[in-house]
């Protein structure tokens, strides 16, 4: 076994055990142990993918990634749904910061506005509207914790292994892969990435502006509107129509299916309004 396989086997074992222990409700010693094991496993996956210098800007990235992944794990494993939603919001803020770190400022702002500003608020609203007081048994008792955790961690290991193989290209594989036995098939090494030209579009291409300084630079974030309304205008129209259809659809779904609880309530209101009201009891005055 080469070091990569040993690493990923360790990640799978530790991560599965850690996530299973984290999915237990309550703050026992076992759950704290689960948090530690998951931190080791996820940190191992993150560390094997980083042949980069740590200082100075790598620290910022690692802090952001740790905050994002940690609050995502908390959002999945905490018991109380409101805490889960708040941790999900924290994870969204981390994702938005990571997008800004990669130079997608518009998407960072859009993620904050759309997810944290709209979707998360609606989620919290429905949660507070529908959630019973106190602890619910369906938050306390989970589905199959072991199978879920094993599925997720194995998927994560396979994805990161695939990403590493794809990005490392043929040289890395030649150095690390073992010679295959006769009759045994191995994965063929993947060609290294090359900076490709963007595919040609059938729509008329907008020529880049002459001055490549500041806002007019071809990679400035201001170019995003040019792309959005230039080569993607049809998709933009479709997105607008989709939003309108979703709006109408949500209203129609809520209006046409009142549900038995609400129907009982309406019937009770009808009965209460049709019966004659009894006179209020007379108050006795003490002399």
Partner 1 sequence: MTDEALLHQYLVVGAMLFSIGLIGFFTRRNMILMFLSTEMMLQGVSLSLVGWSRFYDDFGGQMLVIFILVVAACEAAIGLALIVVLFRHTGSLDIALLQRLREANLPPWQEANPLPVPEEPSPVWPHLAPAGIRPPESPEATDFRETV
Q: Looking at residues 216 to 245 of the shown chain, list those that interact with partner 1 (rule: CB under 8 A).
A: 219, 223-224, 227-228, 232, 235, 239, 242-243, 245
**Contacting residue, 3, 143, 181, 280, with partner 1 by CB under 8 A:** 143
Between CA 90 and CA 98, with CA 94 as vertex, the angle to 5 degrees is: 170
* Closer of 30 and 103 to partner 1 (Cβ): 103
Both structure tokens of 20: 């299973």
The yes or no reply on residue 65 touching partner 1 (CB under 8 A) is yes
| Residue 75 · residue 94 · CB < 8 Å | no
**Contacting residue, 9, 32, 103, 268, with partner 1 by CB under 8 A:** 103
d(CA 18, CA 34): 4
| H-helix or E-strand spanning residue 118 | none
Task: Mark residue 45 as left, alpha or beta (left: phi above 0; alpha: psi -120 to 50; beta: remaining).
Answer: alpha
**Contacting residue, 3, 179, 182, 198, with partner 1 by CB under 8 A:** 198
The yes or no reply on residue 268 touching partner 1 (CB under 8 A) is no
Rg (CA), the chain: 28
Interface of this chain with partner 1, residues 168 to 187, rule: CB under 8 A: none
CB of 32 to partner 1, least distance (A): 18
CA-to-CA separations, 206 to 195, 215, 228, in angstroms, rounded:
22, 16, 12
* Closer of 187 and 262 to partner 1 (Cβ): 262
Interface of this chain with partner 1, residues 112 to 131, rule: CB under 8 A: 114-115, 118-119, 122-123, 126-127, 129-131
The yes or no reply on residue 21 touching partner 1 (CB under 8 A) is no
CB of 257 to partner 1, least distance (A): 5
Give the interface segment with partner 1, choosing from 4-12, 151-159, 170-178, 208-216 (CB under 8 A). 151-159
How many CB atoms neighbour CB 87 within 10 A? 19
Cis peptide before 248 (omega within 30 of 0): no
Which residues does 76 contact at the CB level (< 8 Å), separation at least 6?
Answer: 23, 84
The yes or no reply on residue 8 touching partner 1 (CB under 8 A) is no
Sign of the dihedral through C-alpha 77, 80, 82, 86: negative
Which residues does 235 contact at the CB level (< 8 Å), separation at least 6?
Answer: none
CB of 177 to partner 1, least distance (A): 19
* Closer of 261 and 283 to partner 1 (Cβ): 261
What mask, x for binding partner 1 by CB under 8 A, covers residues 41 to 60? -x--xx--xxxxx---xx--
**Contacting residue, 30, 32, 187, 193, with partner 1 by CB under 8 A:** 193
DSSP class per residue in 133-162: SS--HHHHS-S-HHHHHHHHHHHHHHHHHH
* Closer of 24 and 33 to partner 1 (Cβ): 24
Interface of this chain with partner 1, residues 66 to 95, rule: CB under 8 A: 68-69, 72-73, 75-76, 81, 84-85, 88, 91-92, 95
């Amino acid at each position: 076994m080469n070091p990569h396989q040993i690493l990923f086997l360790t990640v799978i074992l530790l991560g599965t055990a850690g996530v299973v222990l984290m999915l237990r409700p309550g703050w026992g010693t076992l759950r704290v142990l689960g948090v530690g094991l998951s931190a080791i496993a996820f940190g191992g996956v993150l560390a094997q993918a980083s042949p980069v210098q740590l200082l100075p800007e790598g620290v910022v990235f690692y802090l952001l990634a740790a905050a994002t992944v940690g609050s995502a794990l908390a959002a999945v494993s905490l018991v109380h749904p409101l805490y889960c939603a708040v941790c999900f919001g924290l994870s969204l803020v981390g994702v938005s910061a990571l997008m800004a770190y990669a130079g997608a400022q518009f998407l960072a702002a859009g993620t904050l506005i759309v997810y944290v500003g709209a979707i998360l608020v609606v989620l919290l609203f429905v949660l507070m509207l529908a959630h019973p007081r106190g602890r619910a048994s369906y938050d306390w008792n989970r589905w199959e914790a072991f199978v879920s955790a094993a599925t997720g961690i194995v998927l994560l290991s396979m994805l990161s292994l695939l990403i590493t193989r794809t990005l490392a290209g043929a040289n890395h594989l030649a150095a690390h892969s073992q010679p295959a036995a006769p009759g045994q098939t191995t994965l063929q090494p993947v060609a290294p990435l090359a900076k490709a030209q963007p595919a040609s579009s059938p729509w008329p291409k907008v020529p880049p502006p002459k001055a490549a300084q500041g806002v007019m630079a071809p990679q400035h974030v201001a170019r995003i509107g040019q792309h959005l309304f230039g080569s993607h205008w049809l998709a933009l129209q479709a997105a607008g129509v989709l939003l309108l259809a979703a709006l109408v659809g949500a209203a129609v779904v809520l209006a046409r299916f009142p549900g038995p609880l609400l129907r009982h309530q309406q019937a009770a209101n009808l009965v209460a309004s049709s019966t004659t009201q009894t006179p209020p009891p007379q108050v006795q005055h003490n002399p």
